[in-house]
Amino acid sequence: MALLEVRSLSKSIGPAKILEGIDLTVERGEILGLIGPTGSGKTTLLRLINLLDEPSTGCILFDGRMVFGKPEKELLCARRKMAMVFQKPVMFKASVETNVSYGLRMRGRVDATGGEMSMSDMVEEALAAVGLSGYESRDANTLSGGETQRIALARALILQPELLLLDEPTANLDPGSAASIDNLLQRLAGSRTAVILATHNMQQCRKLAGRVAVLQAGRLMAVGKSEEITLPW
């Protein structure tokens, strides 16, 4: 059973059709590249999957269960198994440690006792994963664009999501910062975390993703192995 299944999903805003007839599956542990030009509907699709918006028609199944039209408690349970990193993440006016641990604290996580990892240890581990060890006490609003993007990724990874949604995570970053994020995503391949990587960069898809879904003008034009996909534009 696929971790995520999208069936006949459509989204309209007034007369404008943003997405139409989307059918897509994501397996556990895979990296799926979602490629398309600006305005193709990539961000809208990610927001629908992350349950931030509701579709006009169609449905989404997460771990075999429908996630729309359910009580708020069930939606919250599904949402807590996902994490999303936006193209332009926002940092709180606080330390890096406070920013990275925010999701844990909002979920009622308290500092561990006994054999469990403490929250500070979890933050340290997440920052090490994104190559920013020792940044805990830094003011998050003084970081560079590349550092901010990696902090946002650490903030998502610390939640240990089953599905990680990334919206153009390396767009407008310097080559070094982009390479750091790509290397981290390569290490995630085959793990418990599935990734949907929205991008306009086919080279990045071929490097990181096992499969690629091509989105154009709100429609899926093709889905297949990354080395077999050619772009229609």
Domain definitions of the chain by residue range: 4-88+140-227
pLDDT for the residue numbered 233 = 63
Q: CA 81 to CA 187: how far, in whole Å?
A: 20
Q: CA 111 to CA 63: how far, in whole Å?
A: 29
Q: Divide the 233 residues of the chain into consecutive groups of 10 and give the mean pLDDT of each group.
A: 95 95 96 95 97 94 88 86 93 96 82 67 93 96 92 94 95 84 86 93 92 96 90 70
pLDDT for the residue numbered 109 = 65
CATH topology of domain 4-88+140-227: Rossmann fold (3.40.50)
Q: CA 123 to CA 75: how far, in whole Å?
A: 26
pLDDT for the residue numbered 93 = 95
Q: CA 152 to CA 102: how far, in whole Å?
A: 11
Q: pTM score, two decimals?
A: 0.92
E-only strand ranges, the chain: 4-13, 16-26, 31-35, 57-62, 65-66, 82-85, 163-167, 194-199, 211-216, 219-225
Q: CA 126 to CA 138: how far, in whole Å?
A: 15
Phi–psi pair at 112, nearest 5 degrees: -75, 155
User: Following DSSP, what letter does each residue of 79-131 receive, concatenated?
Assistant: HTTEEEE-SS----SSBHHHHHHHHHHHTT-----TTSPPHHHHHHHHHHHTT
Neighbours of 72 (CB within 10 A): 8
pLDDT for the residue numbered 99 = 97
